[in-house]
Chain A
Amino acid sequence: MPDPSTEYSFDPAAEVAEREVGEPPGLGPWRLAARRLRRNRVALGFLALFFLIVALCLAAPLYADHVAGIGPSDNNLTGKVERGGEQRDVVTPDGTPIGPGFGKEYLLGADANGRDVAVRLLYGGRNSLFVGFMSALITTLIATALGLIAGYFRGKTDLATRTLFDILWSFPVLLFAIALGTALAVGGLDLGPIHIAGNSIWIPTLVIGFVLIPYLGRPIRGQVLSLREKEFVQAAEASGMGPWRIIFGELLPNLSSTIIVFTTLIVANNIILEAGLSFLGAGIQPPAPSWGNLIANGVDRLVTAPHLAIVPGLAIVLTVLSLNVFGDGLRDALDPRAKLRLRA
């Protein structure tokens, strides 16, 4: 609202505009997207599956306490479990763990130490999902900020950011993640006043979060470069908005569909990446379970106890699949023509 005391206070055009403010005819882009998404039953079904998996993993302590009656790190080498009316060894004297079967205890079988696979699976899911989410968040925040700044300011800022992206991009992702993961897993990391212990879950999280920055940063920068030439940015500049206000108030909302879709897909990507790192011993450190190190553990015993590798692998596949299908539907709904891709 212009100040009524100035001589410009009477502006017929502004009056007209004010009268017409309100819902414009038709639906806004978000409503349209929501409607398209609601019609996509498959995507919604997989979203529900994903929420179910998350809820189950969050309920891991409840399951451990009230159903299985055993903690994620509790060994049980000498115990017995009832299967089909008879008592069986959890781990036979020759070291073979019991497989999956119906019953409250050892629903998905035991591992070589007599630990309950179902309990470890749920606890491992918490860790894997945590790494997947937090690393995706780190990537998204940093990459979006860098892409926006580089694309808006151009010139030297852009050159510096692009070079940073080039360097991160050319680092062999897995190799670097493994090298950092292993290096930090032994000694931990000191970031000023913050000390991160060597077995902290934050180490794989930070490593994965950092190496993927250019995968989002580059497309964001490209989009900002072209958005920057649009009239609404000129209008914002002409109305006296500062660069930061333009970046966060005008440009960022235009990138939201890219960011939302990318973040969904990158969570899926990072869950697989974390599993790969853990498989090579550079991710989440045992005894803390994660889907990756559960598989690594199981691969060594494939012949005697295949369920040890199959069960956590299926958990990964279901989770990642649900995110991928939902992400795909989300992309179709938000921006049918968006071209986004990532890989690690």
Chain B
Amino acid sequence: MARFAVRRLANMIFVLFAISVITFLIFNVIPSGDPALRIAGRQSNEVTRAQVREDFGFNDPVYVQYLRMMEQTISGDLISYSNRVNVREELVRGIPATASLVIGAAVIWLFFGVLFGVLSALYAGRAPDRLLTVLAMVGISLPVFWVGALLLYYLTFKVTLFPAGGYVPLTEDPASWFSHLILPWFALSLVFIGFYSRLLRSNMLDVMNEDYVRTARAKGLSERRVLVRHVMRNALIPIATLFGLDFALAFGSGAILTESVFGLQGVGQYVADSVGNLDLPPIMGTTLYAAFFVVFFSAIVDIVYARLDPRVRLNP
């Protein structure tokens, strides 16, 4: 375990390092990426831009610039080129909205994904399974921003059931926080419910054919106990690992489309805005932030996986 932790940590640091280098290089070599123009503004003349380049050290060798940016990233002093705002503060400002969206949606998609998956497997081949399969296939085929836009149109404009987008902090008004998040939760979790229920269904059908399930039945366990203790316990393992990764992706910035459609001022929205400006410091900050979640949760998932399934050994 200790060996695993050390190697995994080294791997995490290396991956994050590589990602920062690649991001830095890409946005340094692209022709439109002149940061001096961004800082000085489009109307600036060449003299001001030269001054800006000198002041900000854009004339230094690339590795010096990279090291400076990394130093700022780690110390939290990273400042946007275009509007001179601190990147970390902006990221932190977005976290409550993103966390509310992603955690809420995760609870919903896990609950319904598992429920529908179990029902599908129990009624495999019969009407409930067919219905749920159709729903799941449609669910995974829906573009989230389109669903979001339609929900907004029909449920806030045509029929005023919900508020039309935006985010209200939980601490300010819990009821309003909830009503503002219902539609985004629904839109974001749809696809995941589809995937999870399909995956769980096929896992359960596989497990139900295992010898140990027959043994459990043969030794006289109740059907309920067989299902919960033997079938579910094994069929849920892949779901658990998948959930870790999906959650990390969504938390990192994967909910960008949902946030953008519903105007939740979260991390994803910040990413979309800063990326649209080709503003390197926020892109660097948010990329590393998002990558960190993925790398970190991958390690957690591996540990949890080894815990849940004793046949698996931790193998960095």
Bound CA span A299–B142, Å:
16
Q: Are the C-beta atoms of B19 and A171 separated by less than 8 Å?
A: yes
Is chain B's binding surface mostly helix, strand, loop or mixed? Answer: helix
* Interface pick from B96-104, B118-126, B180-188, B271-279: B271-279
Is B80 located at the chain interface by the 8 A CB criterion? no
Which residues from chain A contact B140 at a C-beta distance below 8 Å?
Answer: 324
List residues of B (141-155) whose CB comes within 8 Å of A's CBs.
Answer: 141-146, 149-150, 152-153
* Interface pick from A54-62, A92-100, A115-123, A176-184: A176-184
Which residues from chain B contact A178 at a C-beta distance below 8 Å?
Answer: 256, 271-272, 275-276
Q: Are the C-beta atoms of A281 and B257 separated by less than 8 Å?
A: no
List residues of A (138-186) whose CB comes within 8 Å of B's CBs.
Answer: 163, 166-167, 169-176, 178-180, 182-184, 186
Q: Are the C-beta atoms of A186 and B32 separated by less than 8 Å?
A: yes
Is A66 located at the chain interface by the 8 A CB criterion? no
Q: Are the C-beta atoms of A183 and B278 separated by less than 8 Å?
A: yes
Is B85 located at the chain interface by the 8 A CB criterion? no
Is A82 located at the chain interface by the 8 A CB criterion? no
Q: Are the C-beta atoms of A170 and B291 separated by less than 8 Å?
A: yes
* Interface pick from A8-16, A68-76, A250-258, A268-276: A268-276
Contact A183/B33 with A174-B254, A178-B272, A321-B137 known, Cβ cut-off 8 Å: yes
Bound CA span A175–B290, Å:
9
Q: Which residue of A is nearest B257, CB measured?
A: A276
Is chain A's binding surface mostly helix, strand, loop or mixed? Answer: helix
Bound CA span A178–B14, Å:
24
B112 to chain A, nearest CB (A): 17
Q: Which residue of B is nearest A181, CB measured?
A: B275
Contact A310/B150 with A171-B19, A179-B287 known, Cβ cut-off 8 Å: yes
A sample of 21 inter-chain contacts (CB < 8 A) reads A163-B14, A170-B16, A172-B253, A172-B290, A178-B276, A179-B23, A183-B278, A187-B31, A268-B141, A276-B257, A279-B143, A280-B272, A298-B149, A299-B261, A302-B157, A303-B157, A316-B141, A320-B141, A341-B195, A341-B199, A341-B242
Chain B residues with a Cβ under 8 A of chain A: 11, 14-16, 18-19, 22-23, 26-27, 30-33, 137-138, 140-146, 149-150, 152-153, 157, 195, 199, 202, 206, 238, 242, 246, 249, 252-254, 256-257, 260-261, 271-272, 275-276, 278, 283, 286-287, 290-291, 294-295, 298
Chain A residues with a Cβ under 8 A of chain B: 163, 166-167, 169-176, 178-180, 182-184, 186-188, 268, 272, 275-276, 279-282, 292, 295, 298-299, 302-303, 306, 309-310, 313, 316-317, 320-321, 324-325, 328, 337, 339, 341, 343
